[in-house]
Structure formats: structure tokens, C-alpha cells
């Protein structure tokens, strides 16, 4: 998915070479999000000059391009603003032209990088073309750069500062954005703003900041719409303009306001560096002090200060943004001794599940306390139903835990794919609890579904990995799964941690039920052992690699059968396999086998059956028999010593034996052989495990 990185230095001398390597390193840290092209914009050799470099492919292609340009890398800038981007194509194919930054005109008066989608770009483009602007790309983003110049020209006589200009531009945009704007008219300055797309600003100063927050600046006079009838002839845009274009703050002197946090004791300007990014991974190596922007915040960085503006004040809205200290270490997001992030994350699971439970489960007293839910437990218990909403792997963790949540809480549960839930405009009521499960906390479909449920007055709960993410902040309450950063596009440790967080939620919700005590204790005892059992399952790695090498690597298709708790495991295993090995793979409900899928079964089709012991085991055994009767030769994931088919003729059956746990937790163990299988299928086929083609880690577009 697209990534943004910006760098501003003020009274901190940096030569062009240093600035370029800061930008390129910043982009490399964002690579894991998935992208197809990248670009950057820096100051040129003369005033009012901006260099833009863009390339298709990995950031190293951009690096090669930059190196080939013979730029004067020794040129020193005392103050400078630079912006950079990794693009994941939505409007327009990956190409140097469509890559960001985009420009307002051939002289680069305004250059911008953008994450998200401008939904009214066609209208804006039509207007701007009628004003003589020549568009050169197929992107929605280009219209923002051109709109900046258009609005700048219209208001030239007003001497607007950069944030005032940005307000006039942003009010015209519909859709979602994380946006950085740089302009020759405002040298050394940057505007950073967001709506529905994450953006944070890292701050680095030699001296300690005076405050650990930044004040939000609101207009101090009523902001009124101005008529621009005479300038905007397009009727639909006229409407937008009349309702939208704001009267800039004539006479107000915001430029002279000083940010309390950045005010130095002696009044002398303080040297400062700012790192602006869509993701903390590119900032932590420079500074741990970060500020997360909120939707509609307009951050204006100039003269070593960070100002946050908003167009209007709203009741109940915070008037400050805190500068937080990020705990995340860079080595947390590095590969360690593993060949791939995905492999590292699979093998991290014994620790990540412990981190999910740490401080929350007391295994002696058999109690579960979720700090993030405690004030809301009663409300959730009283809800008419629980709607679980998610996408991809996160959706599977909902499916995997639905039964146990329903069993323990006795509240009806609906599990929804976020996109389908939104497409159906499904009814939501004030007495519903809506649970949003997301690793990134930024998935656009899940975010939109969250906003939809918030608007309808339901209680919203997040089960999220990324602290500070949009879903984490916009839900009423929730649980951070604390799995640590997940970088491989194929989600692994987040799945097992989401699974456990959801089981813990069910345990916390049912701790007032005496009749459920024995069941709850059984599950808590199961959780106590889960980490060491995961370690045991991981020992299957060599066997799985061999199995993949000898019989699966060149197959075209693979079926996974499961039922009950293990249906979700089958779906998740199939998703892992198709995501990174590009092999067709399907998770099938074993009970549905005879209703169609059996037609595919022969001696050649690889089939994996999830056949661990639970109440449905006899039915699974029957499915295995049906497969064998059609000459199928399934691989069985079963419990140690609990081979589902024991007749001598079936000796050739291959098994992957996993330890037994409580039925509702067995999916945590069963999914791991499938994660490893997908990993080896991808590696042995020579595919890029961490960055599979066409996929992104964080899908921030609908």
C-alpha cells in the first residue's frame, strides 16, 4: 500500500546527499507495506527550483536513478523540506509518470504525495482543465497539486500563509487522504494532513521540548463561505465552492503564533528535524518522539515549529495533540536471523501469544482482566447481538472464535466481511456491539464499517495490533493484541494473537456465569500451555519442508477440509497458500464435500484434512473415508497418536501430528503447519514471500 515519508530540517545543516539518503532509507522502511513505484522531491540548485525523481519498481530503482542524475550531493541546506512516496497503483498503471510526487505545473510550484483516493477528482479535473491546466497522469492525485496552484493564484493578493492555502484546497477534496504538500512559494515548509489515512510526525531536537503536546489552532473568527461564482463556472463545482471555499483569516496573524512546545527559553529559534510518515517504522530510527495526526488536522511545519490547525472547532474535541514516546525499537521490525519476515513472524508465535496474554490472564486464580474493556463489559453483556467485522485473515480469526464467544456469552454473533457488510448497508442498532478486528487498524473497508456503526450509535470495540491506528482510536474501547509489528504481507502471528484476544474477550464477558466456570477454567488452563505447544508444532518445520518439496511444490491446486472449529483454519490455510505461493487453494467445509467438491477428488489432487479430535471428529473421519474411497490420498493434520484412519491399507497416509488442546483453541495450533506449508511453497517456487505480487500489507483503499 502507498507509503509517505517527508523530512524537514531547520537550522540543522544537511547536504543534499544526506537528505537523499534519509528519504531513500525512509522509503525502504515502508517497503513492507507493498508498492510498485516510488518517488521523491527535493530543492534544486537555484531558489524556486524543485527536483522530482520517480521510478517504477523497488526503492533501489529510485536510488539508481537518483545516483545517475549527477546531482550536487555536497550542496548544503540549513533549512529544507523534502517529500517522498511509495505508490501502490489504484488509478493508473505503475509508471514513472503516475508515481508520486505529483506537480502543479512544469516548474513544480506545488508538489505533493498522497495516500488514499480523491473521489471527486473527475469534477476537479474538469474544472481545472477548463482553467487551462494540462494533466499529464492518470491519477486522482494530480488534481490536488493543480488545485493548490489554482487556489494560490486566485488568492495571490491575500498573502495567505501555507496553512491557510491548504484549508482552501482541502475543503474541496472528497475521499480519503494522507497528504504532504511542498511549494516553492513556501520554502522549507511542509503541510501534512490526513483524512482517513494515517500520518504521524516524528520530532527531533537537541533541547528537550518545553511541552509534550502541541496546541491545536482554531480560526479565531467565524469562518464563512465566500462566493466564487465568478471564478468557478462549473455548476456542480459551484455548489462545492459556495458551500466549501472558506474565507481565509484576513487580518489574523497566525504566522506570529508560537508553538508552546517548540518555544526556546531565550527566544532564539531552536534547531529541529521533522520526519513525517504514514507508518512509524520509518521514523523510529531517527526519533522516538512522535505525534499522531487526527483526521482533518492540518500540520504546518515551518521555522522549526509544528503547528496544528483545524478549520473549525467542534464540541468535545481535544485542543491538543500529545507528543508520545514510541516504544517500538527498529530491531523489532527487522528480520533478525530469519530469511524472511514471514518466517520470523511464524517462529515468534510462542512469544507473541504470551505478549497477548501478559498482564491479562492470572493463571493461578483463573481470571481474565482486559483493561481496555473493563468499563464496557456490562454494556457488551447487555447487547442484543455482537457483530464482528473484518477483512482477510482478521475475518478468519472472527470465524474461528465465533462459536466459543457464542457459547460463553450466549449472545448471538454475526461475522461479517467489512466490504459485504457495507455493500448491504446492514441494519445496526444502538444495542448492538460491533467488534472490529484488524492487524493494521487502517484497513479502509473495516474503517468505513466502523464509521457506519459509530454513526448508528452502536458500541464499537477494536481488536487491533497497531497502537495509535485509526481503528484503535475511533472505537469506543478495545484490546490491543500486542503481537508486535507484523511486516510480512501474509498475516501469521497477528492471526494467533487475534484468536487468543477474542477468546479472552469471551472469557472476560462470561466471568459472571457460574454455569460456565468449569468450561472457562478448562480454556484458561489450555491457554497456559499454548505457547509451549506452539513450540512443539514449529518442530514440524523440516517435515513440512520435505513434504512440500517431494509432492506439493509443483501442484496447481490444493484443497483443505475442516469442519466446526477447523473450518476457519481451512479457510485461513487456503488464504495463506494462495497469497504467497500463488497456487489455487480452497478451504472447504468438510460437511459440504458431498455437495459438489467430491467431484474434484482423484489420486492427483492434493488434499489436507484438519482431523484433530473434537466432538465432530467422527464426521471428519467419515470425510477422510470418502476421499480415500475416490482414490484420494489426503495429508492429515491430527493429534499426536490419534490417527483418524488406522487400517493397514491406509499406512501410506501422511500425517502432521500436533499436540491436543481444548477444542476451541485447537485452531491456534492447527494453523501453524499450514503457515509453514505456505511459506515453503512460496520459497521453493522462488516467490517473494514478504511482498507477494498484487498484495499490500495495509489496504487503505476501498
Task: Find out whether 1 and 114 touch, Cβ atoms under 8 Å.
Answer: no
Return the beta strands (E) in 377-449 as ranges.
385-390, 413-417, 432-438
490 closest CA partner among 207, 353, 681, 667: 681
Which residues, 357 to 376, sit near ligand UD1 by CB under 6 A?
Answer: 371-372
DSSP assignment of 463-480 = EESSTT-HHHHHSSEEEE
Residue closer to ligand UD1 by CB (options 180, 464) is 464
Does 281 sit near ligand BG6 (CB under 6 A)? no
Active site residue 2: yes
> What does the angle CA 28 – CA 179 – CA 295 come to, to the nearest 5 degrees?
115
Residue closer to ligand BG6 by CB (options 355, 623) is 355
636 closest CA partner among 618, 657, 616, 650: 657
Helices marked H in 229-374: 235-244, 341-347, 349-357
Residue closer to ligand UD1 by CB (options 193, 440) is 440
Contacts for 306 with CB less than 8 Å, ≥ 6 apart: 201, 203, 214, 259, 261, 262, 274, 291, 299, 300
Residue closer to ligand BG6 by CB (options 193, 446) is 446
Distance in Å, CB of 501 to ligand BG6, minimum: 12
Site string for ligand BG6, 488-507 (x = CB under 6 A): -xxx----------------
Site string for ligand UD1, 414-453 (x = CB under 6 A): ----------------------------------------
Task: Find out whether 80 and 19 touch, Cβ atoms under 8 Å.
Answer: yes
Does 471 sit near ligand UD1 (CB under 6 A)? yes
Place of cell 482486559: 370
260 closest CA partner among 270, 249, 248: 270
Residue 467 contact, options ligand BG6, ligand UD1, none, Cβ 5-8 Å cut-off depending on partner type: ligand UD1
Q: Which of 393, 492, 496, 566 binds ligand BG6 (CB under 6 A)?
A: 393
**Contact range with ligand BG6 by CB under 6 A, out of 307-315, 346-354, 390-398, 421-429:** 390-398
Residue closer to ligand UD1 by CB (options 473, 630) is 473
Does 11 sit near ligand BG6 (CB under 6 A)? no
Does 104 sit near ligand BG6 (CB under 6 A)? no
Does 462 sit near ligand UD1 (CB under 6 A)? yes
Task: Find out whether 163 and 235 touch, Cβ atoms under 8 Å.
Answer: no
Place of cell 513525517: 276
Residue closer to ligand BG6 by CB (options 490, 574) is 490
Does 392 sit near ligand UD1 (CB under 6 A)? no
Length of the chain, in residues = 702
Q: Which of 114, 286, 289, 480 binds ligand UD1 (CB under 6 A)?
A: 480
Tell me if residue 357 falls in helix, strand or coil: helix
In angstroms, rounded to a whole number, what is the distance separating the alpha carbons of residues 144 and 102?
A: 9
Residue 361 contact, options ligand BG6, ligand UD1, none, Cβ 5-8 Å cut-off depending on partner type: none
Q: Which of 163, 183, 352, 443 binds ligand BG6 (CB under 6 A)?
A: 443
Which of these is catalytic: 2, 148, 453, 638? 2
Does 477 sit near ligand UD1 (CB under 6 A)? yes
DSSP assignment of 59-121 = HHHHHHHHHHTT--TT-EEEEEEEEEEEE--SSS-S-TTTSSPEESSTT-SEEEEEES-BTTH
Residue 656 contact, options ligand BG6, ligand UD1, none, Cβ 5-8 Å cut-off depending on partner type: none
**Contact range with ligand UD1 by CB under 6 A, out of 16-24, 258-266, 414-422, 468-476:** 468-476
Three cell numbers at 239? Answer: 455548489
Task: Find out whether 272 and 10 touch, Cβ atoms under 8 Å.
Answer: yes
Does 388 sit near ligand UD1 (CB under 6 A)? no
In angstroms, rounded to a whole number, what is the distance separating the alpha carbons of residues 496 and 671?
A: 8
The whole-angstrom distance between residue 648's C-alpha and the CA centroid of its chain comes to: 50
Three cell numbers at 218? Answer: 482554531
Residue 371 contact, options ligand BG6, ligand UD1, none, Cβ 5-8 Å cut-off depending on partner type: ligand UD1
Helices marked H in 36-141: 59-68, 121-130
Residue nearest to ligand BG6 (CB): 392
In angstroms, rounded to a whole number, what is the distance separating the alpha carbons of residues 1 and 418?
A: 18
In angstroms, rounded to a whole number, what is the distance separating the alpha carbons of residues 524 and 519?
A: 9
* Parallel, antiparallel or unpaired: strands 324-325 and 272-277: unpaired
CA distances from 605 to 29, 39, 78, 584, 634 (A): 40, 45, 65, 11, 9
Residue closer to ligand BG6 by CB (options 137, 394) is 394
Residue closer to ligand BG6 by CB (options 6, 198) is 198
Tell me if residue 434 falls in helix, strand or coil: strand
Distance in Å, CB of 690 to ligand BG6, minimum: 11
Which residues, 399 to 438, sit near ligand BG6 by CB under 6 A?
Answer: 438
Which residues, 519 to 578, sit near ligand BG6 by CB under 6 A?
Answer: none
Residue 462 contact, options ligand BG6, ligand UD1, none, Cβ 5-8 Å cut-off depending on partner type: ligand UD1
The whole-angstrom distance between residue 146's C-alpha and the CA centroid of its chain comes to: 29
Does 467 sit near ligand UD1 (CB under 6 A)? yes
Other C-beta atoms within 10 Å of 25: how many? 16
Radius of gyration (C-alpha) of the chain in whole angstroms: 27
Does 478 sit near ligand UD1 (CB under 6 A)? yes
Task: Find out whether 90 and 117 touch, Cβ atoms under 8 Å.
Answer: yes
Does 439 sit near ligand BG6 (CB under 6 A)? yes
**Contact range with ligand BG6 by CB under 6 A, out of 331-339, 386-394, 472-480, 543-551:** 386-394
Q: Which of 288, 684, 695, 702 binds ligand BG6 (CB under 6 A)?
A: 695
Residue 464 contact, options ligand BG6, ligand UD1, none, Cβ 5-8 Å cut-off depending on partner type: ligand UD1
Residue closer to ligand UD1 by CB (options 373, 608) is 373
Q: Which of 205, 259, 394, 475 binds ligand BG6 (CB under 6 A)?
A: 394
Q: Site residues (CB under 6 A) for ligand BG6?
A: 391-394, 438-440, 443, 446, 489-491, 695, 697-699
List residues with catalytic annotation.
2
Q: Site residues (CB under 6 A) for ligand UD1?
A: 371-372, 462, 464, 467, 471-472, 475, 477-480
Amino acid at each position: 500500500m502507498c507509503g509517505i515519508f517527508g523530512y524537514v530540517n531547520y537550522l540543522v545543516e544537511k547536504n543534499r546527499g544526506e537528505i537523499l539518503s534519509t528519504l531513500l532509507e525512509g522509503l525502504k522502511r515502508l517497503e513492507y507495506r507493498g508498492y510498485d513505484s516510488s518517488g521523491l522531491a527535493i530543492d534544486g540548485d537555484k531558489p524556486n527550483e524543485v527536483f522530482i525523481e520517480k521510478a517504477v519498481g523497488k526503492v533501489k530503482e529510485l536510488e539508481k536513478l537518483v545516483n545517475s542524475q549527477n546531482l550536487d550531493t555536497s550542496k548544503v541546506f540549513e533549512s529544507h523540506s523534502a517529500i517522498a512516496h511509495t505508490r501502490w497503483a489504484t488509478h493508473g498503471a505503475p509508471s514513472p509518470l503516475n508515481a508520486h510526487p505529483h506537480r502543479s505545473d512544469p516548474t513544480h510550484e506545488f508538489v505533493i504525495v498522497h495516500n488514499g483516493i480523491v473521489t471527486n477528482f473527475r469534477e476537479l479535473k474538469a474544472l481545472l482543465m477548463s482553467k487551462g491546466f494540462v494533466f499529464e497522469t492518470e491519477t486522482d492525485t494530480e488534481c490536488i497539486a493543480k488545485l493548490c496552484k489554482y487556489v494560490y493564484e486566485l488568492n495571490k493578493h491575500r498573502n495567505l500563509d501555507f496553512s491557510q492555502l491548504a484549508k482552501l484546497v482541502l475543503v474541496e477534496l472528497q475521499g480519503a487522504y494522507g497528504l504532504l504538500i511542498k511549494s516553492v512559494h513556501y520554502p522549507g515548509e511542509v503541510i501534512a494532513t490526513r483524512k482517513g489515512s494515517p500520518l504521524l510526525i516524528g520530532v527531533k531536537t537537541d533541547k528537550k521540548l518545553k511541552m509534550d503536546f502541541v496546541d491545536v489552532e482554531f480560526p479565531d473568527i467565524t469562518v464563512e463561505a465566500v462566493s466564487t461564482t465568478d471564478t468557478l463556472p462549473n455548476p456542480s463545482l459551484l455548489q462545492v465552492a459556495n458551500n466549501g471555499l472558506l474565507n481565509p483569516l484576513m487580518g489574523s496573524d497566525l504566522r506570529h503564533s508560537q508553538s508552546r512546545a517548540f518555544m526556546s527559553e531565550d527566544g532564539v529559534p531552536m534547531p529541529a528535524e521533522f520526519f513525517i510518515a504514514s507508518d512509524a517504522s520509518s521514523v523510529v530510527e531517527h526519533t522516538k518522539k512522535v505525534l499522531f495526526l487526527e483526521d482533518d488536522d492540518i500540520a504546518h511545519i515551518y521555522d522549526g515549529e509544528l503547528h496544528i490547525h483545524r478549520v473549525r472547532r467542534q464540541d468535545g474535541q481535544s485542543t491538543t495533540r500529545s507528543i508520545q514516546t514510541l516504544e517500538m525499537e527498529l530491531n523489532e521490525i527487522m528480520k533478525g536471523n530469519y530469511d524472511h519476515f514471514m518466517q520470523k513472524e511464524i517462529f515468534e508465535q510462542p512469544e507473541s501469544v504470551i505478549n497477548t496474554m501478559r498482564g491479562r490472564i492470572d493463571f493461578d486464580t483463573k481470571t481474565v482482566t482486559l483493561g481496555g474493556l473493563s468499563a464496557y463489559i456490562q454494556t457488551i453483556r447487555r447487547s442484543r447481538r455482537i457483530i464482528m467485522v473484518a477483512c482477510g485473515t482478521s475475518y478468519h480469526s472472527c470465524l474461528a472464535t465465533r462459536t466459543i464467544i457464542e457459547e460463553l456469552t450466549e449472545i448471538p454473533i454475526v461475522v461479517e466481511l467489512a466490504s459485504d457488510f457495507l455493500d448491504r448497508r446492514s441494519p445496526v442498532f444502538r444495542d448492538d456491539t460491533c467488534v472490529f478486528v484488524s492487524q493494521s487498524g487502517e484497513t479502509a473497508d473495516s474503517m468505513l464499517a466502523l464509521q457506519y456503526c459509530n454513526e448508528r450509535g452502536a458500541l464499537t470495540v477494536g481488536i487491533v495490533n497497531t497502537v495509535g491506528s485509526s481503528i484503535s482510536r475511533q472505537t469506543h474501547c478495545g484490546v490491543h493484541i500486542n503481537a508486535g509489528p507484523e511486516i510480512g504481507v501474509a498475516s501469521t502471528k497477528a492471526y494467533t494473537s487475534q484468536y487468543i484476544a477474542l477468546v479472552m474477550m469471551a472469557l472476560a464477558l462470561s466471568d459472571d456465569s457460574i454455569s460456565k466456570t468449569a468450561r472457562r477454567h478448562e480454556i484458561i488452563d489450555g491457554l497456559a500451555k499454548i505457547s509451549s505447544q506452539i513450540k512443539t508444532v514449529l518442530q514440524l518445520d523440516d517435515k513440512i519442508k520435505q513434504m512440500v518439496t517431494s509432492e506439493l511444490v509443483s501442484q496447481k491446486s490444493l484443497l483443505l477440509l475442516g469442519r466446526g472449529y477447523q473450518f476457519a483454519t481451512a479457510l485461513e490455510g487456503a488464504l495463506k497458500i494462495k497469497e504467497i505461493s500463488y497456487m489455487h487453494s480452497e478451504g472447504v467445509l468438510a460437511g459440504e464435500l458431498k455437495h459438489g467438491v467430491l467431484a474434484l477428488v482423484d489420486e492427483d489432487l492434493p488434499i489436507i484434512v484438519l482431523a484433530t479430535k473434537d466432538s465432530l471428529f467422527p464426521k471428519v473421519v467419515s470425510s477422510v473415508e470418502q476421499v480415500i474411497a475416490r482414490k484420494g490420498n489426503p495429508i492429515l493434520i491430527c493429534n499426536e497418536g490419534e490417527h483418524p484412519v488406522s487400517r493397514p491399507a491406509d499406512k501410506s497416509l501422511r500425517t502432521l501430528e500436533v499436540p491436543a488442546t481444548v477444542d476451541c483453541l485447537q485452531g491456534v495450533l492447527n494453523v501453524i503447519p499450514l503457515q509453514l506449508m505456505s511459506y515453503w511453497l512460496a520459497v521453493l517456487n522462488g516467490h517473494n514471500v514478504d511482498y507477494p505480487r498484487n498484495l499490500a500489507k495495509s489496504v487503505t483503499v476501498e
